[in-house]
Amino acid sequence: MIERALALEGRNSSTAAVDALYTPFIAHYAEHIADRSRPFPELEPALDRLAAAGHRLAVCTNKLEWLSKRLLDALRLSERFAAICGQDTFGVQKPNPEIFRQTVVRAGGEPQRAIMVGDSVTDIRTGRAANVPVVAVDFGYTDVPIATLRPDRVISSFAELATVIDDLGHVKNTMDDQGFIGHKG
């Protein structure tokens, strides 16, 4: 992100320049992490429906773990997740599937029965590398239309999430000879 910002301003984006800005950036970001952040519409009811149906929920992000927890704490969402893991939790980051798998295990789930929900090419690549179904939201942080990245399903509202996950679970359960997965866990 720092490299992209420097490049947009036509400034030096060498490793030394980025390193010099990293620590103050993280400090500023941590201080203001939830100033303008809010949960997307329908997220909390969707999480409630999924939890009530027996799904374990986890966050797998390329943010630093402590920053992710700070943000979710500020938004009063942390308690909804069995695990919150970042790029520093296991020493790997998305799209490496190992961060996804280890996050699922930390949440008490089985990686082969998980579903990735995301908003970017990185999330879709992570899900594909982990050999799990991918649900993508079309209102996230991607520079291209999310459907062009070919996730298994695209949703336009978190109100659709529980139904789509249930559908994916039933579809994948009938195809488990191909390595696909169920919807709970």
Query: Do residues 51 and 88 both lie within one domain?
Result: yes
Structural tokens at position 122: 């990185």
Q: Supply the angle between the helices 15-31 and 65-74 in degrees, to the nearest 10.
A: 30
Query: Do residues 23 and 64 both lie within one domain?
Result: no
Structure confidence by residue, pLDDT tens digits, 50-84: 999 999 999 999 999 999 999 999 999 999 999 99
State how many domains the chain has.
2
CA atoms within 13 A on the CB side of 104: 21
Query: Do residues 23 and 104 both lie within one domain?
Result: no
Looking at the domain assignment, is residue 166 inside a domain? yes
CA angle 7, 67, 154 (to 5 degrees): 75
Query: Do residues 12 and 63 both lie within one domain?
Result: no
Query: Do residues 47 and 108 both lie within one domain?
Result: yes
Query: Do residues 98 and 23 both lie within one domain?
Result: no
**Span 90-107, mean pLDDT?**
97
Looking at the domain assignment, is residue 89 inside a domain? yes
Query: Do residues 144 and 58 both lie within one domain?
Result: yes
What is the per-residue pLDDT for 6? 86
**Is residue 99 within 8 Å of residue 87, measured between CB atoms?**
yes
3-state secondary structure of 32: coil
Query: Do residues 11 and 95 both lie within one domain?
Result: no
Query: Do residues 16 and 86 both lie within one domain?
Result: no
For residue 136, the domain's CATH number is 3.40.50.1000
> Distance between CA atoms of 133 and 66, rounded to whole angstroms?
27
Residue range(s) defining the domain that contains residue 129: 43-178
For the cut 60, the answer to whether the pLDDT of residue 177 exceeds it is no
Query: Do residues 73 and 160 both lie within one domain?
Result: yes
Query: Do residues 140 and 83 both lie within one domain?
Result: yes
What is the per-residue pLDDT for 143? 86
Query: Do residues 96 and 116 both lie within one domain?
Result: yes
Looking at the domain assignment, is residue 184 inside a domain? no
> Which residue would you say has higher pLDDT here, 138 or 4?
138
Looking at the domain assignment, is residue 37 inside a domain? no
What is the per-residue pLDDT for 126? 97
